[in-house]
Amino acid sequence: MATVAFGEGQGVWFPDDWRLTAAGGISGTKTLVPNAAEADLIVVGVAEGLALVEKGAAYTARRIDSGDRTRPVDTVTFDGAAAELLAGGLPARDRLVDAAAVLLAADAFGGAEHCVTMSVDYARVREQYGQPIAGFQGLRYQLVEMALATEPARGLYWYAAHAWDKLPDKAAHAAAQAKAHLTDTYLQVTRDTVEAHGGIGFTWEHDTHIYMKRAMLDWTWMGSPSRHRLRAADFAGW
């Protein structure tokens, strides 16, 4: 199993802000590292690019008690850990960051789409006052707004993935836009999903809370939507 370590806390996610260096071994802390305790390899973002650290090197991984317990994350503290710089240097580093943003956007779209379907299906079978709640105008408007927020955004991550493959000059801009918009959308849709399910939506016995917590992690990991919008503005020359 391999994982990646990008975040350095206090909102530091992007390559130009990385303070850790591979010179003389990596020392310092990376936060919200997925499955670091189980990983055999960690690809660490450093000032020089990307560095490979193997299990058994001088580092410790401490599990974070995060909201989304289906996706374990750790704080990794490196203490002069032996590291091998990977080929590609800064361009490879930037490409990996863009790929992470595109994948987060795709995950967010899939989660939001599922939440819309789950909410519509529930509204069709849940009855109140002798009729399915899908017949209530207020809920119908809410379900429509959820769908309208989600489905048109499909093209954002599709285009971002295409740009990553074929349009290197536009890849970073498209990735930033997709990550910002889709993780924002996912979080709002999960909130609406909880409301659409009423009382059962607030309980741990129902899956709605799992999707909301995943949406919160997607929103946070690799930087907040506002930070990515600023990056997109910079890439666009604004």
List domains and CATH numbers for the chain.
Answer: 2-87 (2.40.110.10), 90-235 (1.20.140.10)
Strand order in the sheet with 84-85: 2-5, 41-46, 49-54, 84-85
- pLDDT band for position 134 (50/70/90)? confident
Q: CA-CA distance, 149 to 111, in Å (whole number)?
A: 13
* Per-residue pLDDT at 68: 84
User: What pLDDT is stored for residue 235 in this prediction?
Assistant: 93
* SS3 state of residue 78: strand
- Looking at residue 127, its pLDDT comes to 78
Quick one: which of 195, 61, 181, 176 has its CA closest to 119? 195
The pLDDT value given to residue 202: 85
Q: Which pLDDT score is estimated for 106?
A: 98
Q: End-to-end CA distance of the chain, in Å?
A: 40
Model pLDDT for residues 25-54, shown as the tens digit of each residue: 999 999 999 999 999 999 999 999 999 999
The average pLDDT across 81-101 equals: 95
- Closest C-alpha among 108, 112, 107, 104 to residue 222: 104
Query: What pLDDT does residue 133 have?
Result: 81
Report the percent of the chain where pLDDT is more than 70.
Answer: 100
φ, ψ of residue 6 to 5 degrees: the values are: -115, -55
**Which of the residue ranges 8-12, 36-40, 104-108 would you say has the lowest mean pLDDT?**
8-12
According to the model, what pLDDT value does residue 130 have? 84
Instruction: Tell me the pTM.
Output: 0.93
